[in-house]
Amino acid sequence: MPVGFYFGRGTPNTHNLAPICWKEMESSLLYSSEAYNDDVPYWVDLPHETSLPEDQREGMLVIPYNYDCNDGKFHMAPGFVTSAGQLYEQYLRSTFDMLYREGGKMMNIPLHSRITGKAGRAEALRNFMLYISGKPGVWVTTRRDIAKHFREKFPYKPGHRAGGS
């Protein structure tokens, strides 16, 4: 069962309706990635919970998605203007270096096996992963684990994007 979602074509009601659907499936929703506006996770209040006492509200954890490091840009204009992976690797390194200097940021690298699974691009990704593996404090993980970590360290608090106790 999925624990998060990214539709890519959400509406203003997506964050409010998705948790209701998950509850009807008797499942737990950990996060939404239906946002492109930040480099760190954050909480949003859900309109359907406003009538509940604060201790019964769950909110929605948003783990933003991005297109800038998406390998799909090999197939989009202006995208990565070559099939070669070297430009992609260079872009990933530049993005990482900036976010690493800023500290505490999250870097999304959306991957598709039919795109980065090609040998030259897979080698570029491998080189990038070797590059970041030598940096202290870097955590390469899944959205599921980011959601679990954020929920534990920064639990939902109504009206507070960053969570709190």
CB 29 within 8 A of CB 22: yes
C-alpha dist (Å) from residue 86 to 81, 121, 145: 11, 8, 29
Read off the tokens for 33.
Answer: 């990635």
Pairing of strands 42-44, 31-32: unpaired
State the Cα angle at 124 between 62 and 143, rounded to 5°: 15
CA distance 34 to 6: 5
**pLDDT score, position 28:** 74
**Mean pLDDT, the chain cut into blocks of 10 residues (165 residues total):** 77 78 76 88 92 93 87 68 74 94 89 85 93 94 94 94 78
Domain regions of the chain by residue span: 4-64+141-153, 71-133
Give pLDDT, residue 130: 97
Task: Determine the Cα–Cα distance for residues 132 and 109; give it in Å rounded to an integer.
Answer: 13
Please name the amino acid found at residue 39. D
Predicted confidence at residue 78, as pLDDT, reads: 61
Please enumerate in sequence order all residues whose Cβ is within 8 A of that of 138, keeping only pairs 6 or more positions apart, or say none.
Answer: 100, 132
Length of the chain in terms of residues written: 165
The token pair that represents 22 in the structure block: 């998950």
Which residues in 148-162 are b (16+ Cβ under 10 Å) and which e?
bebbeebebbbeebe
